[in-house]
Amino acid sequence: MEQDSRWANIDTALSDVGAILEPKVAAADNTVFDGGDTELVSVAKGDASFGLGWQETLPAQLHEPGDRGGSAVRQPVPLTDCR
């Protein structure tokens, strides 16, 4: 993968970039959203894109990227009424 005019190995460990997480080096634009919105993840390359979201707003602060080896881990959301 060419990055900043140099060749780099693909590195999917996620970096915290403000309200999003991004892989360090990837062949496409991959984004994991930090919560507080309905967007969950998106992938784009050239004119093609794909995204996943949720019908309701996701809780903010869904991750601690350094705690899981660069992986995004959603914390469990407590259910208030299961009836």
Structure confidence by residue, pLDDT tens digits, 25-67: 888 999 888 777 888 889 999 999 999 888 878 776 554 544 4
Contact 56/75 with Cβ under 8 angstroms?
no
pLDDT at 69 over 70: no
Q: Is residue 67 part of a domain?
A: no
Q: Is residue 19 part of a domain?
A: yes
Q: Is residue 6 part of a domain?
A: yes
d(CA 83, CA 49): 38
Domain count, the chain: 1
Q: Is residue 79 part of a domain?
A: no
Contact 8/1 with Cβ under 8 angstroms?
yes
d(CA 64, CA 74): 9
Range of the domain at 51: 2-57
d(CA 30, CA 83): 37
